[in-house]
Structure 1
Amino acid sequence: MGLLGKLSFKDQAFRLREDAILDATTRILSGKGFDLMTMDDVANAVGISKPSLYKHFKSKDDLVGEAMVRLIDGALAFLADMPADLSAKQKLAALLEWALRVRLEGGMPFLPSTSPQVREMLMKNLKYVMRVMKLNGQIEKFITSAQKAGDLNPALPVDVILFSYYSRTCDPAVEFLQLYSKLGTDDIVTHMLHVCFEGLQA
Structure 2
Amino acid sequence: MSILSKFSFKDQAFKLRENAILDAATAVLGSKGYDLMTMDDVAGAVGISKPSLYKHFKSKEELVGQAMIRLLEGAIEQIGGLPPHFSACEKLEALLEWALRVRLGGGLPFLPSTSPHVRDMLMRNFKYMTRVLKLNRMLESLVKQAQKDGQLDAALPADVILFSYYARTCDPAVEFLQKFSKMADDDIVRHMLRVAFSGIR
**TM-score, normalised relative to structure 2:** 0.96
1:20 and 2:10 matched:
no
Distance 1:102 1:7 in 2: 33
Give runs of aligned pairs for residues 34-73 of structure 1, distance below 5 A. 34-73=34-73
What SS does the corresponding residue of 1:8 show, helix, strand or coil?
helix
Partner of 2:172: 172
Q: Distance in 1 between matches of 2:7 and 2:93?
A: 37
Which deviations, in whole Å up to 9, do the C-alpha atoms of 1:19-60 show, x marking residues without a partner?
A: 000000000000000000000101111111111111100110
Structure 1: any 5+ residue segments left out of the alignment?
Answer: none
How far 1:109 sits from its partner (Å)?
0.4
Q: So what's the TM-score if we normalise by structure 1?
A: 0.95
CA distance in 1, matches of 2:182, 2:164: 26
What is the root-mean-square deviation of aligned Cα atoms in Å?
Answer: 1.2
Gaps of 5+ in 2: none
Structure 2: distance between partners of 1:79 and 1:19:
22
Deviation per CA, 1:70-94: give whole Å up to 9, x if none.
0111111111110001110000000
Q: Please state whether the residue corresponding to 1:48 is helix, strand or coil.
A: coil
**Percent of matched pairs sharing the same residue:** 68
- Residues in 1 aligned to 2:173 and 2:44: alpha-carbon distance in whole angstroms: 31
Question: Aligned partners of 1:198, 1:7: CA distance in 2, in Å?
Answer: 53
SS at match of 2:167: helix
Q: Give secondary structure in 2 for the equivalent of 1:21.
A: helix
**Alpha-carbon distance between aligned partners in 1 of 2:7 and 2:101, rounded to the nearest angstrom:** 32
- Following superposition, the deviation at residue 6 of structure 1 comes to 11
